[in-house]
Each structure stands twice: as C-alpha cells, then as structure tokens.
Amino acid sequence: MGMLCGLLALGLGLVVSAGWDLMIGDGAAWRELAESQRQRRLHVAPKRGGVYDRNGSALAVSVEVPSVSLDAVELLRGVPSQQVPVVARQAANAIAAVLGIDAAQVERRILAKHRFAWLKRQISALEADKIRALSADAPEDRRIHGLVVEGEGRRYYPRRELAGPLLGFVAPDGEGKDGLEYALNDDLKGNAEQLKGLRDRSGRLLFSDGIEDDRAFAGHNLYLTIDQGIQYVAEHELQAAARTFEATGGSVVVVNPNTGEILALASFPTFNPNDYTESQPEQRRDRAMSDVFEPGSTMKMFTVAAGLTSGVITPTQKMYCEKGVMQIDNVTIRDTHPSEWLTIPQILAVSSNICAAKIGLGMGESKLYEAFRRFGFGQESGLPFAGEAPGTLRPRSRPWVQVETASAAFGQGIGVTNMQMAMAAAAIANGGELMEPLLVRKVSTSAGEVVREVSPHVRRRVIPKDVARAVSEMLVAVTEGDGTGTEAVVDGYRVAGKTGTAQKTDPKTGRYSIDKYIASFVGFVPAEKPIVAIAVTIDEPMVEHAGGAVAAPIFRHVAQMALKLAGLTPKTSDHTDVAVLARTPDPANIAYEALREAQGKKPAVQEVLATGAVSPGKVRIPNLTGVPARQAMKQMIEIGLTPHIAGSGLIVTQQPPPGSVVDAKSEVLLILEPAT
C-alpha cells in the first residue's frame, strides 16, 4: 500500500506540475494561441476620398461594389482525401460558370487549401446573387462552403473622359496609379486598419470591436481649382480642332492670372478612367505638363517684355528688320512678312524673327537667360503632379553663342511646357507677378473638417507694372487689323495674345522638319483687366499649321465660356472688325477676306464652268466641293496646281471656280467650312 500510494502521489505530482506549466508557466502563450484560433483579423480598407471641382461637382468618387473570395479549408472541410479532387473540380466548374472565369484556375486555388484567396473582384450584383445562391441558398448536399461576398471600394468617374489625364486612375488594389490619384494618393487613400472579431468554427465573423465610425479611416476629399464648365469646353474644342486639322495631340491650360488658379487643364488624346485598361499610355499622358516643345513666336512676347525691362528697347522706337533676311554667323534668319522699319507693337503683330533676334542680342545671352528663368522657364511649376517636365533652357554653365541667343529670342533652341507658357502669360496679364500655380484649393476630411487650404502666392516679380501694361497693349495689336491672331478675338472684348507656328525637330536628321509643326496661341482677356489667361498648343496639325488659324479659335471659344461664367457683359469694342481685312498682296489676308465673304454669302451649289478641250500647258480646275482639305490638296498637287487653304472642315468655295482653265502651277484658293 505504501508503494502504491507513493506511485499515485508521484503521478499526481507530475499531473499537477504539468498543469502548472500549462496554465501558469506557459499560460500566456497558450492564451494567445487560443485567441488567434477563435478570432479573425480584419483588414479594413477605408473609403477613398473624393475629388471635386471648384464648385463641388464630383469628378471622382468611390462606391462599394461586391467582391468574392474563397476559404478553401472551409470548402473541403469533412471531405475524404480521396474525394478532394472530385469535389474541387465540381466546385470550380460551378463557380467558374457563374463568374465567367477559368475553371482550372479556381480548381488550383481550391487545392492550395488557403484560408483566403480572391476569386473575382468588383463583380456585378447579378453575379453576387448567383454566388450567394451557391453558398447559402443551395441545399446542404449541393452547397459550396467557403464562398464570401463582401463589399469593396471601386473608383468611379461620373464625368467619364472629362479631365481623364489630369485625374489618372486607381488600380483594383486601391492605389492611385496615375495623375492626381497617384500624386496625392496618401491624402486620398485614408488609413488602413486591422481589427479583431470573434468567429465560429467555420471562420464566419460573428461580431467585431473597434469600428465606431468608419469615417475615421476614410481618405481626405480634394477640392480642385478646376471649373468643370471651362474644362469641358476646353476639351471639346481641343478635340474638334485636333480632328479637323488631323493633329496628333494638343493641350489647353486656363489660368486665373490674379490668383494662379488652374481653371482647366485639357489634353488630347484623352481616356476614360473608368475603363483605363482600354487606353494606351500616350492617351493617359497629361501633355500640358509633360510635353516639351519649342514655343516659336509666342516666346517673342516675353523677349519684348525682357527688352523693355532691361532698357534695350523703348515702346515707341522703331527697328530695322533687314527686309526680311539677316545673316548671323553662318545662319540665315528670315521673316515670313519681310519689312524694313517696324515699331515694337508691329514687331509682335507681324511676328518678326529678325527684330526679336536683335532684341535678344542687344540684351546678351546672360540677361536673356535670366529673364526667361524669371518667367519660370527651365524649371518645374511646383504643381503636385508626377511627370512634370522642367523644359530645356540651357544652363549658364555653358553660355549661348550668338546664334543661339538670337534663336532663343524668337523661340527656337529652347523647350517649354504649355503650363509654363500659361503661367508666364499670366504674369504679364496681372501686372508682372509670377504666381504659384494652384490646382488643389482645399483638402478636407470626410466629416468636412479642413485639413489644409491653399492661398494665392506670388513667386516673384518678373517685370515692372508699366512694362506689363505696355506689353499687354502691344499684344492687342496681334489680334487686330493685320495681326496674326485675329481669329482669337472675342466679340465685345479686347484680346491680348500671340500666335506661334514652330517647326518640330526631326529626330532622324537632327534638323527642323519640313511638314511637322507646333501651332500655338497664348493670350489673355479682357486686355485691360484680365480675368483669364489661356495657352493653346496643337501638335503636328496636317491640314493647316499656322497658330492663328489652328490654335486661336480654340482660345476664342474657351475665353467666351470663361467670361460668361465670370458674369462679364460684352462691351462695344473699338478694335478693327476682323470680318473686314485690308486687301494686300499678302495671300493670307486675301484668303481670309475670301473666307469671310464665303461665310456671308455661300451659294448652295457652286457653279461649275463648262468642260472642253484644254490647251497644252493649261490645267482645268476640278470640282472639289465637299471634299476634305487633305484629299483636295493631294489632288491639286497631282495635276500641277498650288493650293492655298482658308478655314477648316470641307471645301465650300474655290477661286478660280471649278472648271476654270488656268496655267499649270497656278495658285488656287480653297475655302473650307466645318460640316454641319
């Protein structure tokens, strides 16, 4: 009995010791294991903040859509090992038939026996109902366990293509991948949290603690300076012009010159962020900030402003323009409109390269470079946008030679972005101050509390007020009389601006292309007290390449919308009526006059002269009424005639008229109007 009692006491001691170690010694570890077995960790994906225009209209919002996931362990619970492949295949076929996905892929995920795996994200309501029918509503013997349908945030853009390259898009994982969605992702995505909740033996969540207000996790809302109305008109006009003139791309930037607020940032081609997988990278690129181009003649407005500021020129002086040809080193500079003596306003009006070059040479490369830098060229604007280009303004460490200084003065040999052009023009418009560009006005929480708010900020003074006012008046001459920008005139307002037609560099030869151009117009309105500055660029227009014909009309239409939204009333203007142009030997002016006449009294059907034999050396003009410009130009060149284009759209009038017999290599004016 003594030995038996001793053995029992020893055994009891061992049991007590083991229990002590289990409950007291290792209790903390076992309790943690038990908690991990009966609790489920939840990854709470917060609702992404919205993006709104300056008036509170939604540009990007997040909506909850169902997604389906799989708990393979639960699906195969209680299934004998030999039956697992059969059950997995049957379940995979049923799931794949409902979701429209690959059955073999679903089968592999089932056989992997993971507790969580996505089957399909952001499914339709009908698919969600069918999945619930498989997992919850089906009879027990045919029920597929482990299928979970839960809400997940999806980004939705209610305005479709509007501001697509500016906004960017959001990937299924909830991360911004382009545009503002990427640049301001930290503000928009919110704070992801992990919470714990009690679950049953099947892994289903019974309840959870810690979610008191889901707005605490939600991302911040962004309120942009963009005006939806102006943005729409800018995109619509840009797209129409690009298609009419068969251009590869373009951009429009609209700025409030007094505050630096970006009212519109349009780019073509564009894309629909709701279907971003259907787009190409070039469609998603915001060309206003990422595309660098040689500005051409639009740069002359800043050269003149710099020359007046430095005292190299005065507003009333005249300059000799060398009759249209000037030699610098081994380079010949030419003017499109040869002249002898021109005033400073006339230099801008007829866009003299030679006089602009003389102003630049008078300043010297150091002062000209510094002036361009003060206008913001050669540096990023500071906008919260990934991929913004600084442009190419040669650093002072490698000085310009004489011909480079001259060419930079009229916009060649340097690279700018359309955003830089708009902000520099705004500096002239507001009296000489370069503003910080503003794109995000306010950031607030989902509860409406303001996180930060941005106020207008002056980066620096660029030119004196009197110089800015003088240049503004000079730029009005560009849009009046014989100026190159008459198509930019807004009825009832005086418009200040400058056209540009710059040849692009051919990467194969390293020289300027003979048929690829950048057409541009930069200006502001009203000239006396500007409320909006607009920069327009059209890349590689094929039908017509002059900035005054291609880009200026876009400026006019966008400016009309901006003025209307600002509540301004047009006033009677004392500038020259653009419908009446002086008849001069300049073929461009003759074309414009004929175009205006055709618009006023266009015949329903143009008369075609009688046909007959044509003498040697003569050519009969074919009837091209209703034919697109490019096709007409090709046909004219093939028969030996030289075509001149006026307007856009389809041909409505020809001068000389169809059927006329003219000498070979004669010039023919083709007048076009948009198809109605």
Q: CATH number of the domain that 635 lies in? A: 3.30.10.20
Question: Which of 132, 154, 176 represents a domain boundary (last residue)?
Answer: 154
Q: Which pLDDT score, from 0 to 100, does residue 602 have?
A: 37
Question: Which of 127, 154, 181 represents a domain boundary (last residue)?
Answer: 154
Q: What separation in angstroms does the CA of 303 have from each of 351, 390, 536, 673?
A: 12, 20, 19, 36
Question: Which of 154, 182, 197 represents a domain boundary (last residue)?
Answer: 154
| Same domain as 551, residue 478 | yes
Total Cβ atoms within 10 A of residue 530: 23
| Same domain as 467, residue 405 | yes
- Considering the domain boundaries, does residue 17 fall inside one? no
Phi, psi of 50 (to 5 degrees): -90, 165
Is 198's pLDDT higher than 90? no
| Same domain as 235, residue 122 | no
Is 209's pLDDT higher than 70? no
Which tokens belong to 61?
Answer: 């919002």
State whether residue 383 is helix, strand or coil: coil
Lowest mean pLDDT among 44-58, 189-203, 272-286, 567-581: 567-581
| Same domain as 599, residue 518 | no
Amino acid at 48: R
| Same domain as 507, residue 402 | yes
Q: Which pLDDT score, from 0 to 100, does residue 512 have?
A: 81
Known catalytic membership, residue 297: yes
- Max mean pLDDT among 423-437, 447-461, 560-574 falls in 423-437
Per-residue model confidence as pLDDT tens digits over 493-534 = 999 999 998 888 877 777 888 888 999 999 999 998 999 999
| Same domain as 592, residue 524 | no
- Max mean pLDDT among 101-110, 387-396, 505-514, 516-525 falls in 516-525
Is 593's pLDDT higher than 80? no
| Same domain as 541, residue 410 | yes
Q: What is the CA angle 501-407-458, rounded to 5?
A: 80
Per-residue model confidence as pLDDT tens digits over 448-463 = 889 899 899 999 999 9
Nearest to 329 by CA among 399, 405, 396, 395: 405
Q: Which pLDDT score, from 0 to 100, does residue 45 have?
A: 63
| Same domain as 596, residue 482 | no
Q: Which pLDDT score, from 0 to 100, does residue 604 have?
A: 35
| Same domain as 501, residue 595 | no
- Considering the domain boundaries, does residue 342 fall inside one? no
DSSP letter at 91?
Answer: H
Helix or strand holding residue 241 (H, E): helix 228-244
Per-residue model confidence as pLDDT tens digits over 124-158 = 888 888 888 888 766 766 788 888 887 767 788 98
| Same domain as 551, residue 489 | yes
Burial string for 240-264 (b: 16+ CB within 10 Å, else e) reads bbbebbebebbbbbbbbbbbbbbbb
| Same domain as 515, residue 608 | no
Q: What's the total number of domains in the chain?
A: 3
Asked if 510 contacts 536 with a C-beta cutoff of 8 angstroms, the reply is no
Strand segments, DSSP code E, in 571-666 are: 618-620, 642-647, 650-655, 661-663
Among candidate residues 297, 339, 407, 472, the one labeled active-site is 297
Rounded percentage of the chain residues whose pLDDT exceeds 90 = 33
Domain limits for position 531 = 228-268+281-312+364-434+461-565
Which tokens belong to 215?
Answer: 């707005």
Q: What separation in angstroms does the CA of 291 have from each of 67, 194, 342, 518?
A: 39, 43, 34, 12
Is 577's pLDDT higher than 50? no
Q: Which pLDDT score, from 0 to 100, does residue 435 have?
A: 95
Is 254's pLDDT higher than 90? yes
Q: CATH number of the domain that 554 lies in? A: 3.40.710.10
List, in order, residues 6 or more apart from 20 with CB less than 8 Å away: none
- Considering the domain boundaries, does residue 24 fall inside one? no
Averaged pLDDT of the chain: 82
Q: CATH number of the domain that 86 lies in? A: 3.90.1310.10
DSSP letter at 488?
Answer: G
Average pLDDT of the residues in 61-66? 81
- Considering the domain boundaries, does residue 9 fall inside one? no
Is 206's pLDDT higher than 50? yes
- Considering the domain boundaries, does residue 357 fall inside one? no
Q: Which pLDDT score, from 0 to 100, does residue 461 have?
A: 95
- Considering the domain boundaries, does residue 263 fall inside one? yes
Helix or strand holding residue 265 (H, E): strand 262-268
Per-residue model confidence as pLDDT tens digits over 287-323 = 999 999 999 899 999 999 999 999 999 888 899 988 8
Is 669's pLDDT higher than 50? yes
Is 609's pLDDT higher than 60? no
| Same domain as 529, residue 388 | yes
- Considering the domain boundaries, does residue 664 fall inside one? yes
- Considering the domain boundaries, does residue 510 fall inside one? yes
Task: Please report which confidence band the pLDDT of residue 438 belongs to, taking 50, 70 and 90 as the band edges.
Answer: very high
Is 607's pLDDT higher than 50? no
